[in-house]
Amino acid sequence: MHRARRLCLAVLTVLGTACGDSTLTSSTPTVPQTFTEVFSGTISQNGATSHPFNSQGSGTALATITALAPDPAATVGLLMGTWTGTACQLVIANDKATLGARIEGAVGGAGRLCVRVYDVGAITAPITYELTVVHP
């Protein structure tokens, strides 16, 4: 009887020691990598320009108008969408975008995306613009 008790105690001691020696590690969540691209150009009355870019993964894409000249108070259209190879297919748009306007959308994975700046009938002379796009 003492022998069985000693054997059981020895097994529990070994198991307890084995469990006590294990170390726990915490995982650090990975932050998705983002890329910043700057696009610029000029649009004329009734004009538009598209800029394709590559998404490397899922996350959030954000496009911001960072410059409009010669009239920083000009109103233009700004859209973000999927690049078809020849056109920017609308996903999200702001038809009353001004300096500092932003549009934001969820990106499901790697692929070809685009931003487009266009006249909404409000410009009478060419407008030079700059966009900053942050994307996965």
Domains and CATH numbers, the chain: 35-135 (2.60.120.380)
d(CA 8, CA 2): 10
Mean pLDDT, to the nearest integer, of 109-115?
A: 97
Tokens of 30: 């990975």
- Over the stretch 3-26, which tens digit does the pLDDT of each residue have? 444 433 343 343 344 444 445 455
Helix, strand, or coil (residue 53): strand
Q: Are 93 and 79 in contact (CB under 8 A)?
A: yes
Indicate if the pLDDT at residue 99 is higher than 70: yes
CA 20 to chain centre: 44
Helix, strand, or coil (residue 8): helix
- Over the stretch 36-71, which tens digit does the pLDDT of each residue have? 999 999 999 999 999 999 999 999 999 999 999 999
Tokens of 114: 């685009």
Determine how many CB atoms are found less than 10 A away from the CB of residue 111. 13
d(CA 75, CA 45): 12
